[in-house]
Amino acid sequence: LKKADIGIAMGIAGSDVSKQAADMILLDDNFSSIETGIEEGRVIFDNLKKSICYTLSSKMPEMLPFVAFFCLNIPLALGAITILCIDFGTDMVPAISLAYEGPESDIMKRKPRNPKQDHLVTERLVSISYGQMGFFQAFAGFFTYIVIMSENGFQPWDLFGIRNKWDSRAINSLTDSYGQEWTYHQRKTLEYTCHTAFFASVVITKWAALVCCKTRRLSIFQQGMKNHVLTFALFFELGLALFLSYCPGLESGLNMYPLKWSWWFTAVPFSLALFCYDEIRKLMMRKCPGGWIERETYY
């Protein structure tokens, strides 16, 4: 037992001496329990990775509005309160739902994990969540922001450099691209509406992110939608976003304003693009195992 790579003793029929010398004790004396235990361990590790990837993906659209705010001097696209609504509201149940995801069909065909190299959070996981999923969400939010500003008279090129005037309480006659004058209160109402719309766009694209995070290699069409907790999480996420956007009184408490229905659909193309991109990425990994796509993006 001591010379073996992993010494295994029987929990029922084994002697006390063998149990002390063994690395593993089978409580039910059934060797098939070893395979079951390995599979369960891999599922737990997989699901933790998926949950972390999903959670981190919203950090890029939460950070870039502040980068643009300071570097481009444009009105703030996403506020601190709406960020909290994402992190402590719409993201909570979907992130937890990934813990209920079943095993992928190839999970026992994979090589054993190297504990010194294969960590929960790796460079490739950060690259997928921040650099790929996160950018789709950020682009969707900024596109919706530009659409709302343009519909209200502020063309994108006229937003650069107006931050100080926009935030000044003393200026109540700021002109837009068409010469209309905006008071401080009107500007802030428009800004908070943009915050709400940016938040809604992130939620719409996170639908695709959640579905993409269900699997690490297989297609969603191979895995299926058997995780009913995740299905509930999708509708919970959207329902909470609708509640926060349209519940009376929240404009004074959370600075969230009702949106035109058309503004909810501006993020849909980005959500579909994210889903298609991830499906193609996984298809290429399955078609060319060990290729550069797998080496650079498989987390």
Residue 220 contacts residue 279 (beta carbons within 8 Å): yes
Overall average pLDDT of the 121-130 stretch: 92
Higher pLDDT, 212 or 34: 212
Least confident of 6-15, 87-96, 128-137, 176-185: 6-15
Residue 1, pLDDT above cutoff 70: no
**Structural domains present in the chain:** 44-297 (1.20.1110.10)
Q: What is the pLDDT of residue 34?
A: 83
Task: Grade residue 105 by pLDDT with cuts at 50, 70 and 90.
Answer: confident
Overall average pLDDT of the 105-126 stretch: 87
Overall average pLDDT of the 115-128 stretch: 89
Task: Grade residue 115 by pLDDT with cuts at 50, 70 and 90.
Answer: confident
Least confident of 158-162, 215-219, 251-255: 251-255
Q: What is the pLDDT of residue 269?
A: 98
